[in-house]
Amino acid sequence: MSYIASWSGGKDSCFACYQAILAGYKISYLANFVSVEYKRVRFHGTEAKLIQLQAEATGIPLFQKETTGEGFEQEVKAAIGNLIPEGIEGVICGDIYLEENRALMERICGENGEYHTFVTCGPLFKKKIKITSSRTIKRDHFWFLDILEYS
């Protein structure tokens, strides 16, 4: 059995993926969706390149797709649907206690006031990601820690 782990780069998706692996699930891809406008993870603001670095650190192939705001749901459905012929049987998700995330994930297989995270190491990682420079930015009334340099 082969599964996709929905991957935002944060603690919930990382922990869900790790727990699935411990439970014996085979994770074939980390699935990540970034905005066409900013080339960053939707809702989290993490650069697409940093997600690629996380995937390399885990050793799990990354399936990363750019999406539009207005077509997000349909684009995610289509992207995940395209992986079904490869033997994908389901999607592992963190954050399903948030109603909009749960509803979206249930339909395809803006969060407010939250503090999102970016995982730099842990038992799932084969190497640590070191952040060497960052800055805070505000976009559309939301604050982000923009990671500028890393190794």
pLDDT, position 59: 97
The domains located in the chain, with CATH, are 2-150 (3.40.50.620)
Tokens of 78: 């289509």
Q: 């192939």: which residue's tokens?
A: 61
**Model confidence, pTM:** 0.80
Q: What is the mean pLDDT of the chain?
A: 86
Per-residue pLDDT of 101-132, as tens digits, reads: 656 655 754 444 455 778 999 999 999 999 99
Query: CA-based diameter of the chain, in Å?
Result: 42
